[in-house]
Amino acid sequence: MLYRREEGSEEWEALVFEAMTDRIDLPAIGASLALADIYEDMVFEPGRAPPR
């Protein structure tokens, strides 16, 4: 879960990322980050599936 606030706003928005194909947009720096890149070398414990 990512909490984000638009520039000039006082309210926070909760964003949920679940699938390995999801991308987190980082507009302040003009980039995005894929969950697949974050979890690339991570090993998940047996019986527990990685994010979809």
pLDDT tens profile 5-52 = 888 889 999 999 988 899 999 988 999 999 999 888 888 777 766 666
Other CB atoms within 10 Å distance of the CB of residue 3: 8
* pLDDT on residue 42: 83
- As given in the structure block, the two tokens for residue 19 are 């699938």
DSSP β-bridge partners for residue 49: none
* pLDDT on residue 50: 63
* pLDDT on residue 46: 78
Other CB atoms within 10 Å distance of the CB of residue 35: 18
Q: Does residue 23 contact residue 34 with C-beta atoms inside 8 Å?
A: yes
Cα dist. 37→11, 25, 48, 50 in Å? 29, 13, 19, 13
* pLDDT on residue 49: 66
